[in-house]
Structure 1
Amino acid sequence: MRAQDLLSELDLAVQEHFAWLKAWHRALLCGPPEGVVSLSSAASDLGRFGTWFLRNQHSGLVNQPAVRSIARLHEELRERARALAARAVDGASLPDAEYDAFMDAASGFVMQVRRLERAFTAAFSDVDPLTGVLNRHAMYRELERERARAVRMGRPCALAIADLDHFKAVNDCHGHAAGDRVLAAAAELFASGLRAYDSVYRYGGEEFLFCLPEAPLDVARQILERILSSLSARAIPLAEGAELTITCSFGVAEITPDATLEETLARADQALYAAKREGRARVCTWPMTGEPRTAAS
């Protein structure tokens, strides 16, 4: 699920909640009593939020205490609705305390969802909306931290720049919507092919940057060649049943104490252009031999 989709689901969940609460009160006050039972029954128990939570409860952003707390509150709200509905059908008056507790749960649910939306919005400010990976803003902050760690501890760390080969032709021949699908599919494959402590970022356009801690150049090459093999073997679905396969080129440089982050990225960039000069769909590392950097598309 992309960032915008998740936020949209939360907003729709609140809208559905208000519509359900309004219908529940109308049935309670205007009758018939069976209407409030129907609105409180197991068939409508989950609601939009409950369905969304069950579908996404194991994903990283959802699988956290704050979200589980909202899910419990939502469950409590529906349970209180059922209890009040049962009293209404029996013709009994509703106890003030039980109704107040129900309304507290109803308003508390909305307040906590809105708070969660604000937290997600803050988190997603670092996420590229198209691909779902971290953006350039987050990249520089995290790379500086990783460089400091690698230098301080004397541990290897490789940075790699990936460029999707012939991406301009994808846009020219298939349209920008197809280009967006290719970018999103490539980002998904990149992320799934990394180790748990590796990171991938949208570097700009069709370029992605990889941070590979504890990876000297030979290990980084193995990781990236495996990703390249998976990418080139994957058929990316386009509109109307069409499919497309792509490759990418990688340039890799290792963080060293004598080079700033910008210098290390420049080295990786030089290696990337070497990979393109040599025919694309390959991994090149810095330092390398060959001609100085020239522009390649």
Structure 2
Amino acid sequence: MDAFAENTARFVAELDAATEAHMDWTRRVLRCAVLRSSPGDDVLADDAHCRCRFGRWFGQQRVAFERVDADATARLFAAHERMHGAVRTLCSALLAGAPGRAEELDAFEQTQAALVADLGRLKTQILENCARSDPLTGLPLRHRLESEFERCRAQARRNAQWLVVMLADVDHFKQVNDQQGHAVGDQALRHLAGVLRGAARGGEPLFRYGGEEFLVLLQAADRDAAEQAAERLLQALRDAPMPLSGGAALALRLSAGLARAGADEAMAAVVERADRAMYEVKRNGRDGWRWDRDDRH
């Protein structure tokens, strides 16, 4: 199993274990109701939602969840905290010899149901994303590109920005495979994807387009901003050679073409123009970027 699939499988297994731990937590709440025994600090403390196993694990993994679905993650976090609040009130009353209130029990049942539902949806999305992502680099694949292109174009239009397709190809990659071997070639693609992912900013989704080609959707205020974004990504790679065994390092470089998406231009046409510009860079020294000729004005 490749590393990306292993990471996804581990993440899902941890999610299942943390969810099961919450089921055990629920059983302790039931014992409190029947036997009046203390359910523990991860139920009674004011910050119990951060102390339970699920809460601790979810807090550590929240950024990963937000990458999948930020809205569902926010709902899940809020439902988990409200559920703990309702149970804390119920158990505290029971341990003090007072009857529980129906509204608190209703709140617990409703928030627990919402929590389980959102967890199920997020787990499904995580597994779907795994199937739609490149197993070598972890980047989304090109079959997700068209919907993201339209989403970014609509967002750029609302914000009076440009949407620019940046298509980049690794320079002399065949030599890497021929001279260093395909294992090093795979390592180079993972390294490159990690560098680009780290250098990309919000509004700059990154895709593995195919082979040694990568595609970035840039939302930029104007031409200068798009050029600065392209140079930032290329410079990040220049500044991060890939370490090799024995203390050596492999310098990786990209040739990139830029094409501004027209208001109604088909995505395939924009990508074709970016590809045309990219090959002009290849023919003129590599390691750089260039606008498509239709955008040089």
SS at 2:40 equivalent: helix
- Deviations along 1:226-274, whole A, 9 cap, x unmatched? 3211221025578999865422111234456998643443332233233
Scaled by the length of structure 2, the TM-score of the pair is 0.66
Aligned equivalent of 1:16:
21
**AA partner of residue 25 (structure 2):** W
Matching residue's letter, 1:182: H
Tell me how far 1:286 sits from its aligned partner: 3.2
Counterpart of 1:189 (choices 195, 198, 202) is 198
CA distance in 2, matches of 1:211, 1:87: 55
Give the counterpart of 1:135 among 135, 141, 156.
Answer: 141
The C-alpha deviation readout for 1:39-72, integer Å capped at 9, x for no partner, is 52438642244335544379565653x4333323
Partners in 2 of 1:28 and 1:148 — Cα distance?
A: 53
**Cross-structure match for 1:160:** 166
In structure 2, what residue type is equivalent to 1:51?
A: R
Paired position in structure 2 for 1:226 = 232
Question: Residues 222 and 85 (structure 1 numbering): CA distance in 2 closer, same or farther, change over 3 Å?
Answer: closer
Structure 1 CA distance for aligned equivalents of residues 107 and 153 of structure 2: 52
| CA distance in structure 1 between the partners assigned to 2:41 and 2:246 by the alignment | 42
Q: Is the 8 A contact 1:158 1:217 kept in 2?
A: no
Q: Which moved more, 1:257-266 or 1:111-120?
A: 257-266
- Tell me what 1:295 maps to: none
Higher helix share: 2
1:269-280 equivalences in 2 (<5 Å): 269-280=275-286
3-state SS of 2:268 partner = helix
- Post-superposition Cα deviations, 1:176-201, rounded to whole Å, max 9, x if no partner, equal 66245314313313523xxx545433
| Partners of 1:131 and 1:184 within 8 A in 2 | yes
Distance 1:102 1:148 in 2: 40
Q: Distance in 2 between matches of 1:252 and 1:137?
A: 20
2:43 equivalent among 29, 40, 52:
40
- Unaligned ranges ≥5, structure 1: 289-297
Q: Is the 8 A contact 1:37 1:85 kept in 2?
A: no
1:265 counterpart (252, 263, 271): 271
C-alpha separation between the residues in 2 aligned to 1:38 and 1:214?
50
Are 1:158 and 1:216, in contact at CA under 8 Å, matched by a contact in 2? no
SS in 2 for 1:246: coil
Q: Secondary structure at the match of 2:200?
A: helix
AA partner of residue 120 (structure 2): R
* Inter-CA distance 106–157: structure 2 relative to 1 (3 Å threshold): closer
Corresponding position of 2:119: 113
Supply the RMSD in Å over aligned alpha carbons: 4.7
Q: Which amino acid aligns with 1:191?
A: A
- Matches of residues 89-104 of structure 1 in structure 2 within 5 Å? 89=95, 92=97, 95=100, 97=102, 102-104=108-110
**d(CA) in 2 for partners of 1:82 and 1:144?**
46
The verdict on how the C-alpha distance between 1:41 and 1:180 changes in structure 2, with shifts beyond 3 A counting, is farther
> Within 1, Cα distance between the matches of 2:44 and 2:87?
9
Match of 1:178 among 167, 170, 187: 187
